[in-house]
Chains A and B, each alone.
Chain A
């Protein structure tokens, strides 16, 4: 039968506002997490990562928070700009080797000028 596309959660924000994108990860043994941004027609772009021995990490205009108790990640984008419009994915890595990243379904961020 015809495959049904993933229904991506959508977050719509006004330019200049802060954005918070949430992600629930699946494995309590995961020890490394990455946030990616994917624009239409492009590959995922690395934004920021965090290891499980941390609960917060800051980059340029972005902050990632990790709550291992509830297996939750969030990405905060300060002063959101139209160029931030994209689909955002969280990815987790657990056990085994480095290369196997498990991706979340993604959140579509739409920034209104």
Chain B
């Protein structure tokens, strides 16, 4: 059974640009959550998608958005990139029921210059 796949693994972007990251969850999982990991703030929740609907949202500005497709694959988008957006972006896949395991991908390392 394939794990959580995130693409690309590494990305370098310029301030002001926008970026789209992709996550393919474990087969059969319907929930995808996104997290930002930085040395200063640790792991912070961005949002969760379940059955193509945003089910929960963290405390990030509107420049951060996401979506989920009918096959459960998810994308997140960051517009008007800032230097502070440089981070490891992780997605977690889970079946979607309450209190079940969430499995992470390897992450996308975004560097904004």
Which chain A residues have a beta carbon within 8 Å of chain B's beta carbons?
A: 3-6, 31-32, 34, 36, 42-46, 49, 51, 89, 91, 93, 96-106
Contact = CB atoms under 8 A, between A and B. Distances in A.
Interface of B: 4, 6, 31-33, 35, 38-45, 47-50, 55-56, 58, 84, 90, 92, 94, 96-107
Contact of B107 (A5, A43, A93, A100): A43
Contacts of A103: 35, 42-44
Q: Which secondary structure dominates where chain A touches chain B?
A: loop
Given A5-B39, A106-B42, A42 B106 contact: yes
B99 A43 contact: no
Contact of A34 (B40, B90, B98, B102): B102
B45 A101 contact: yes
Given A46-B103, A98-B31, 8 more contacts: A43-B90, A43-B106, A45-B104, A98-B48, A98-B102, A99-B31, A99-B49, A100-B45
Contacts of B35: 101, 103
16 contacts: A3-B40, A6-B42, A32-B98, A42-B106, A43-B6, A46-B101, A49-B101, A93-B99, A97-B50, A98-B96, A98-B102, A101-B33, A103-B42, A103-B43, A103-B44, A104-B42
